Amino acid sequence: MSASNFSDPSLLRGLTQRRFGRRDALRLSGLAAMGGALAACGVQGQGTQAPASAEPDAVAQFWNGKVKNGSMSFAGWPLYMDPKQPELKKFTARTGIKVKYDEVIQEMGPWFAKVQPQLSAGQSIGYDLMVITNSFQFTQFRDSGFLAPLDHSKLPNYAKNAGAAYKKEAFDPGNAYSIPWASGMTGIAYDFNRTGREITKLADLWDPQFKGKVGMFSDIQELGNFGLLALGIDPAESTADDWEKAADHLRKQKDDKIVRNYYDQSYIEALGSGEVWLTQAWSGDIFQKNISDGTDFRFVIPDEGGTIWTDNMTIPVTAPNPVDALMLMDFFYEVENAATLAEYINYVCPVPAAQPVIRTHAGKATGEDKDALLDVADSKLVFPTKVEYDKLHYYVAFEATAEQQKFQKTFEPIVLG
């Protein structure tokens, strides 16, 4: 993939008309936004560099004297919430806080480049809450001192209801600056009718039995992650030497002609047509494909592991209404609110207790609505079990632009060559 390889021009991930594929937009982040975003790389805020985990005195210093103001602005991704905004209306009715919600974030790199000058100057970006991905830009936001340290004493619903996996995120230790909005998984999808057997391991993607019938992602970070995991290396802990070993492993897979192609969003069509029998895949795609087309593709987190990506609610350090924003963050961790949000967006829900609530909602519904709610409640792609969570890893953590570029140069030739 060239620089354009890092972006899917369709900008669509979802397979229904009601939602853009959030995961596709994510693919434009991190390694994806190498163009204009690199111009902003390494630019620090006017203050000192923020620590990876906020100190207690930093929390007290930021929140001292802050009060509820009765209004706030929220920057989100396209169609990452029901357009009728039922949760926001409920929040306003309860608290009196009016929320202006804008779907202004399309890509992480350009979003950082857009707001960085204002944040560096200590100016408001016009938003009190923004949803950002655990990408290279998250590290930039944090280390530039652009994110407000969270006062967890004001997040009781998060403390009570967040799943264990969302309280130990490697990219934000202690959730010092963020709490999750939603997440998704990268694993293997396959057509059992063609493979003739269960697919359980990353090694299956290298199996000569499936020569010419394996799909891999053209997304460099996703491709590299699986190369590392196939060798038993945790991406988040990997080194440049590990990247070279993983690249060699992926080159052998290619040289042995096991890989049919390196796909963007089109992998799902390739699986549907039989062009490939098994492929790297994003969990939300397979859930929606089976629902919309009646297919029976299977999705598995391989034994060696898969990856998890997370979109996170954060407060810009210059936000004029941070108390209002913090209240909204905790509001979305009330079980009922987490449930209705998951019913619409269908991504992995960070509140496990939302699952039985969705089943209760299904019990009160009829016809297709009932079936759709049961599909969401019963799906391991929306509510993974502990077994799945235990096999998920975070992405490679880049601490500097040079590391990011090294990673790109290591894996890009596999796709381009």
Top CATH class of 184-308+393-415 equals alpha beta
Compute φ and ψ for 12, nearest 5 degrees: -120, 130
Question: For the chain, what are the domain ranges?
Answer: 14-183+310-352, 184-308+393-415
The answer to whether 14-183+310-352 and 184-308+393-415 have equal CATH topology is yes
- Lowest-pLDDT choice from 9-18, 19-28, 76-85, 341-350: 9-18
* Predicted local distance difference test score (pLDDT) of residue 65: 96
Q: Name, of 1-10, 84-93, 289-298, the range with top average pLDDT.
A: 84-93
How many percent of the chain have pLDDT more than 70?
87
Host H or E run for residue 309: strand 306-314
> Distance (Å, rounded) from C-alpha 276 to C-alpha 261?
9
The tens digit of pLDDT for each residue in 321-378 reads 999 999 999 999 999 999 999 999 888 999 999 999 999 999 999 999 999 999 999 9
User: Could you tell me the CA-to-CA distances from 256 to 21, 277, 278 in Å, in that order?
Assistant: 33, 17, 16
Domain 14-183+310-352: give its CATH superfamily.
Answer: Periplasmic binding protein-like II (3.40.190.10)
> Distance (Å, rounded) from C-alpha 144 to C-alpha 261?
39
Average pLDDT, the chain: 86
Tokens of 1: 């993939």
The tens digit of pLDDT for each residue in 236-261 reads 899 999 999 999 999 999 999 999 99
Question: What is the pLDDT confidence band of residue 49, given thresholds at 50, 70 and 90?
Answer: very low
String of b and e for 394-417 (b: at least 16 CB within 10 Å)? bbbbbeebebbeebbebbbebbee
* Predicted local distance difference test score (pLDDT) of residue 50: 52
Host H or E run for residue 35: none
Check if the beta carbon of residue 36 is closer than 8 Å to that of residue 113. yes
Q: What is the pTM of this model?
A: 0.78
String of b and e for 256-292 (b: at least 16 CB within 10 Å)? eebbbbbbbbebbebbeeebbbbbbbbbbbbbbbbbe
Question: What is the pLDDT confidence band of residue 296, given thresholds at 50, 70 and 90?
Answer: very high
Question: What is the pLDDT confidence band of residue 271, given thresholds at 50, 70 and 90?
Answer: very high
* Predicted local distance difference test score (pLDDT) of residue 293: 86
* Predicted local distance difference test score (pLDDT) of residue 208: 98
